[in-house]
Structure 1
Amino acid sequence: MDMNKEQIRLLRPGEFEAAAELADRVFRDAEHKSMGDAFPNAFSPALQQSYGAFADGKLVSFVGFVPSVIRIGEAELNVYSIGAVCTDPEYRGRGYVGTILDMIREHSRRAQAPLILVSGNRGIYERFGCRKFGALTSFNADQQSLDKLSAATDGEETYRPFDRADWFALRKLSRSRNVGYEQSIWDLAAAIYAEPTASNSKLKHRVWVAERDGAPVAFVVLAVAGDIAPLGKPRVIEWAGDAAAAVRLAVYGARAEGAESLQFAVPWQDAGMEAVLAEAGCPAVPGKLTGTVAIVDAGELLRQLTSYLKRKDEAALSRLQLSTNEDGRHFAEWDGVSMELQPEELISLLFDPVRIESAVHGPAAEAANRLFPVPLPLPSGLNFV
């Protein structure tokens, strides 16, 4: 490489170690787990999806870029996640990340991944088309709430730590979710070991399993304090299976780990878990899903969601078209009438239970109410980037 020449491109296998070192300098201290260990897919020489900028013969800017599949009912949605975005302080202000985001948009189109999830919400992402999205309720179960939840057991469940023979059961429970990331046994094992969200707060993963009649009915992944002073409070990272059992299991596991409180982040579609926590009187704060989202290709997004939306209202779906032109402008067409939508309008239309005012109106809006919102899994779970 010319020592004075700037290059912006996909990283090559031998360059990911330098990327992890750069990310650690920007985001971590000596007690943190390395970013390369916590976010292995962003620093993966096997995937080779992440981008970097090189100057003066070294990597000076990095954008982690990770492909995933989200299952929504029968639909499979190709998505990319952006995270671990960092630039050497001496090289900031040169537009590297903005250039990489432009390259990522084209990369996503070629990969037929119409949706990009971003862990941040900075202005540069807003210019990229990212907006806050969806809805969740954050519950903080204090000591009194934990007591009430502990007393709510029906006595039919037993709770125990994860056993090394549980991987098939965990994968089966994961697959039982109507909305969730595609997770193989290997995916689950790697993500639980990596501790992506937990490691940001210097917390550790603990996995617990609930059984009835000897059969697993729920599992939870908890982030709890380990051997070093934590930066955050204990929380539920991921769960699957029976919602009420999962809540009781989380409380049992948290208390076994010495936690005096426990945080839950519950997306709007997980009404069963929300009801259990609300009934226990857990303090609740409504908000959006973590991070932001950008729609790269609205037409491809609608196509990939077709099998899910058909079950909601096939007639309405047949009269709706979405598209994104080469300039990144989004359009909705209803019975031949085209309406341009700003990024926030389209994102809110598709994913928000309570929508902002949109250019979609009249019969088209009535149809949209029958088709949308589309549920998405919590981005800050095991698949956080």
Structure 2
Amino acid sequence: MEASWENGVRSLRKSEMGSLRNLLGDVFFAELPDIQPHAINDENTSNLLVVVEDGQVVSHIATIKRHVSILGCPLKVASLGGVATYESHRGKGHASALLEKTMAVCRDEDVDYIMVSGYRNMYHRYGCRHVGKDWMFRLDQDQASDFDDSNFTISCASEEDIDALGTIYRRESVRWMRPSSDIAFGIDGWVCNSPAKTYLIKQSDRLVASAVIQQARKGDKGQGLRFALRDYAGERSAIVGVLGKFVQEQDLKEVSLHVMGCDTVLKDLLEARGLTGIQSVLPGTTMIIHFEKLLKKMRPYFIERIGENAVNGLVFKEVGDEYHVYYGGDRVVAESRGAAAQLIFGTWAGAEDAMLNVGGRAGEVLRACLPIPGVWYGVNYV
């Protein structure tokens, strides 16, 4: 996707990496490229879209693209972030041009949806929405001893553990299809723009789970710190049973973890020990790129829910700026890209209900299939 011109909207050239670093340092902070090496690197320049003026990178959007597995169905997702424009170049439409180009490229490359690490009016205009029906749980010091099971141990992972960590992670029902480099990035690096380390969770020397937990930044001091589990995989009883160990061993005031709405086992285990979750959403905002292809790829899961005959009667179609689902003579209509994201992934506010309620039999069938869960960023944050 190398451009044939010097100025304009195009992919970054390797020789311009220094200019990009200057931009990101000016808008964010100088270390950003170093803590997102999975995105800001010479091998990913085709996914680093920039506006160049007089040889200088003045605006930028980054993506990384990965395959994911949602309840056994393969989709393709782009993580988008690093949106930056020099203040002196704002108001010229650069960010909008880059986002439109990114959307077009993602569509050409069969990306089903984009995860955007943030929210701004521009994202909303292009169809990004807060979606998902997940949970957030928090464990404080006073409860830590109730989450410190003696039959589980924790220890820091090393690069020698990457294969074993991958084996544990591949058992997750909603997951990224991560190359080993993604797993290595979380061993002792930065995850979601925070220092993080991966821990092995063992029972009788058998690896049963893993957790990537936030670490203190330089200058952070002891008691009073609030850390988050940035990623986890494996046996849910083991994850619950070591939360208190993290609090006590790192002298934390609190540890939090995001629980997918479909992960009823983990949610129930946490509640059984006295924690109460609060409603949460998928990270950042979500934008649908391929409505028809995404829902067709979810057919195997839909068949599990409603049977093959019913699924064969579903028709998914993009009609102008609207997104339709037909069943028999009825239809469900999402009137915008944003509404399509709400329909597919659901919302705690129930925005999808208005679409389903007037959809007749199509609404009834879809209600049995949707919402679907989305992946949590973890080490794939941009």
TM-score, normalised to structure 2, is: 0.89
Would you say 1:46 and 2:81 are equivalent positions? no
Structure 2 counterpart of 1:186, from 177, 181, 193: 181
Query: How far apart are 1:224 and its partner, in Å?
Result: 2.2
Correspondence for 1:95: 93
Superposed CA offset, 1:308-329 (max 9, x none): 322222333211122224x543
Amino acid at match of 1:43: I
Q: What SS does the corresponding residue of 1:233 show, helix, strand or coil?
A: strand
Whole-Å separation in 1 of the counterparts to 2:329 and 2:13: 46
Whole-Å separation in 2 of the counterparts to 1:352 and 1:340: 15
Whole-Å separation in 1 of the counterparts to 2:188 and 2:157: 13
Structure 1 counterpart of 2:211, from 206, 220, 231: 220
Amino acid at match of 1:372: L
Q: In 2, are the aligned partners of 1:158 and 1:212 still within 8 Å (CA)?
A: yes
Correspondence for 1:160: 155
Correspondence for 1:321: 315
Whole-Å separation in 1 of the counterparts to 2:72 and 2:262: 16
Q: What SS does the corresponding residue of 1:165 show, helix, strand or coil?
A: helix
Would you say 1:359 and 2:349 are equivalent positions? no
Query: How far apart are 1:281 and its partner, in Å?
Result: 2.9
Whole-Å separation in 2 of the counterparts to 1:17 and 1:310: 50
Correspondence for 2:242: 249
Whole-Å separation in 2 of the counterparts to 1:21 and 1:323: 44
Correspondence for 2:3: none
Whole-Å separation in 2 of the counterparts to 1:93 and 1:108: 25
Correspondence for 1:127: 125
Superposed CA offset, 1:358-385 (max 9, x none): 3332211111122111111213x11111
Question: Which range moves more in the overlay, 245-254 or 219-228?
Answer: 245-254
Amino acid at match of 1:299: E
Amino acid at match of 1:317: V
Correspondence for 1:275: 268
Distance 1:16 1:191, change over 3 A: farther
For structure 2, the 5+ residue unaligned runs are: 1-5
Q: What SS does the corresponding residue of 2:226 show, helix, strand or coil?
A: coil
Q: In 2, are the aligned partners of 1:192 and 1:382 still within 8 Å (CA)?
A: no
Correspondence for 1:308: 301
Whole-Å separation in 1 of the counterparts to 2:225 and 2:52: 34
Correspondence for 1:296: 289
Correspondence for 1:262: 255
Superposed CA offset, 1:221-259 (max 9, x none): 100214323897211001000112112223313422222
Whole-Å separation in 2 of the counterparts to 1:16 and 1:135: 39
Correspondence for 1:208: 199
Distance 1:323 1:104, change over 3 A: farther
Question: Which range moves more in the overlay, 125-134 or 365-374?
Answer: 365-374
Q: In 1, are the aligned partners of 2:147 and 2:243 still within 8 Å (CA)?
A: no
Q: In 2, are the aligned partners of 1:64 and 1:83 still within 8 Å (CA)?
A: yes
Superposed CA offset, 1:43-81 (max 9, x none): 232122121111233111010111011111321101111
Whole-Å separation in 1 of the counterparts to 2:103 and 2:129: 15
Whole-Å separation in 2 of the counterparts to 1:103 and 1:329: 21
1:140-151 → structure 2 map (5 Å cutoff):
140-150=138-148
Query: How far apart are 1:334 and its partner, in Å?
Result: 1.8
Whole-Å separation in 2 of the counterparts to 1:328 and 1:192: 43
Structure 2 counterpart of 1:136, from 134, 146, 150: 134
Distance 1:353 1:97, change over 3 A: closer
For structure 1, the 5+ residue unaligned runs are: none
Whole-Å separation in 1 of the counterparts to 2:127 and 2:266: 32
Structure 1 counterpart of 2:340, from 342, 346, 354: 346
Compute the RMSD of aligned alpha carbons. 2.3
Q: In 1, are the aligned partners of 2:283 and 2:376 still within 8 Å (CA)?
A: yes
Q: In 2, are the aligned partners of 1:208 and 1:249 still within 8 Å (CA)?
A: no
Equivalenced residue count is 369
Q: What SS does the corresponding residue of 2:42 show, helix, strand or coil?
A: coil
Question: Which range moves more in the overlay, 112-121 or 283-292?
Answer: 283-292
Whole-Å separation in 2 of the counterparts to 1:160 and 1:196: 18
Correspondence for 1:83: 81
Correspondence for 1:28: 29
Q: In 1, are the aligned partners of 2:147 and 2:242 still within 8 Å (CA)?
A: no
